[in-house]
């Protein structure tokens, strides 16, 4: 299957990190591979029509197989070499967004409630920031498979968040901008996770009687 240069570059980037069309366009334009966002959108449309990526810009099985046949000497792009300040300007992250990305680089995943507690913000405010981060492909959210019941008797499945590879890259680039907060966040995370672990150990001996 023959595809163009821009299509090959898009596949190579998606092999490294999952990202949306806007981020792909920003990276390829910053690296000088394309001049306009339109060429990237056309490339993505072509890749979808050929069944190499899905509607979420993730490589399909055919896409994974095809990328192995790409000769990197003819078309290559390394996201780690990107001036990530370009991405920081595109996403226009506020302090809360940078804090949330930093927290998610320190732990595997976190619930909305946990992130609200750590940042000492209302859940609805943190949810709005997380939605923007998710729209930009910097984090992804998923609902727990376990159903809980709140104090009002309503059943719900909490939402959890993980950082993406692109999100970790952007977090690294913007970390110096919140350097006055990172030590406090680290200490709070350490104390909170330690307390959680101690509470779990405390309840463990009684679980068998439950």
| Structural domain count of the chain | 2
DSSP structure class, residue 53: B
pLDDT at 162 (0 to 100): 94
Q: Point out the domain boundary residue: 62, 82, 102.
A: 82
- 73 and 147: one domain? no
- 96 and 148: one domain? yes
- 69 and 106: one domain? no
Higher pLDDT, 24 or 98: 98
Residue 30, both tokens: 């910053």
- 76 and 123: one domain? no
In three-state secondary structure terms, 192 is helix
- 105 and 176: one domain? yes
User: Which range marks the domain in which residue 74 is found?
Assistant: 5-82
Tally Cβ neighbours within 10 Å of residue 145.
6
pLDDT at 60 (0 to 100): 93
- Average pLDDT score over residue span 187-194: 84
Q: What is the CATH number of the domain that holds 160?
A: 1.10.10.10
Residue 23, both tokens: 């981020």
pLDDT at 196 (0 to 100): 63
pLDDT of residue 75 exceeding 60: no
- 29 and 107: one domain? no
Question: CA 202 from chain center: how many Å?
Answer: 34
Which stretches within 68-178 are classed as H helix? 85-91, 95-106, 112-119, 123-135, 165-174
User: Which has the minimum average pLDDT: 9-13, 85-89, 179-183?
Assistant: 85-89
Q: b/e per residue, 62-79, with b = 16+ CB within 10 A?
A: ebeebbeebeeeebebeb
């Amino acid at each position: 299957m023959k595809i163009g240069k821009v299509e090959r570059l898009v596949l190579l980037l998606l092999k490294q990190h999952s990202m949306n069309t806007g981020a792909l366009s920003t990276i390829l334009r910053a690296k000088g591979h394309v001049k306009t966002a339109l060429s990237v959108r056309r490339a993505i449309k072509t890749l979808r029509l050929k069944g190499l990526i899905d509607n979420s810009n993730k490589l399909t099985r055919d896409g994974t197989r095809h990328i192995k046949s790409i000769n990197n000497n003819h078309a290559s792009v390394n996201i780690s070499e990107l001036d990530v300040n370009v991405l920081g300007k595109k996403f226009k992250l506020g302090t809360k967004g940078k804090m949330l990305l930093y927290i998610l680089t320190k732990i595997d995943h976190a619930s909305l409630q946990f992130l609200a507690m750590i940042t000492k913000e209302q859940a609805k405010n943190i949810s709005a920031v997380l939605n923007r981060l998710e729209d930009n492909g910097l984090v992804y959210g998923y609902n727990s498979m376990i159903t809980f019941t709140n104090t009002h008797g309503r059943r719900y499945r909490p939402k959890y968040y993980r950082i993406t590879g692109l999100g970790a890259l952007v977090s690294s680039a913007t970390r110096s901008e919140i350097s006055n907060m990172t030590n406090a966040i680290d200490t709070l995370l350490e104390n909170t996770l330690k307390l959680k672990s101690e509470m779990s150990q405390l309840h463990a001996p009684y679980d068998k009687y439950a």
